[in-house]
Amino acid sequence: MALIDDMFKGDLAAGLALGVGAIIFGPNATRAMGSILRPAAKTLIKSGMVFWGETLSEIGEMAADLVAEARAELDQEARVQAARQHHATA
């Protein structure tokens, strides 16, 4: 920022040249940067989507495993409870 401040402090011609250059070359520079940055941005977004999908898949598998384990424990507890009731009435 100091470079820009120094440029505008004493030399009006340099400031005007910079402004005119920005007006003339700005649109071309923007198009050139866009053509370079657009594919990089799309690649970054696609990578994020793949990572997110894989992460959700892993979380889904872990959740399914936890649900299956909880269901098995509930079934086991129900069998133990039924056996206790059967032995108590017998």
Per-residue pLDDT of the chain (90 residues; tens, 9 = 90+): 555 666 556 667 777 777 788 888 878 777 888 888 888 889 999 998 998 888 888 999 999 999 999 999 999 999 999 888 888 776
The pTM is what? 0.46
pLDDT at res. 26: 79
The predicted pLDDT at position 64 comes to 94
Note down the domain range covering 35. Answer: 2-89
Classify residue 28 by its DSSP letter: H
Let me know: does 7 contact 15? Beta carbons within 8 Å.
yes
Q: What is the pLDDT of residue 24?
A: 84
> Coil, strand, or helix at residue 13?
helix
Determine the Cα–Cα distance for residues 24 and 20; give it in Å rounded to an integer: 6
Question: What is the count of structural domains for the chain?
Answer: 1
Return all residues near 14 (Cβ < 8 A) that are at least 6 apart.
7, 8
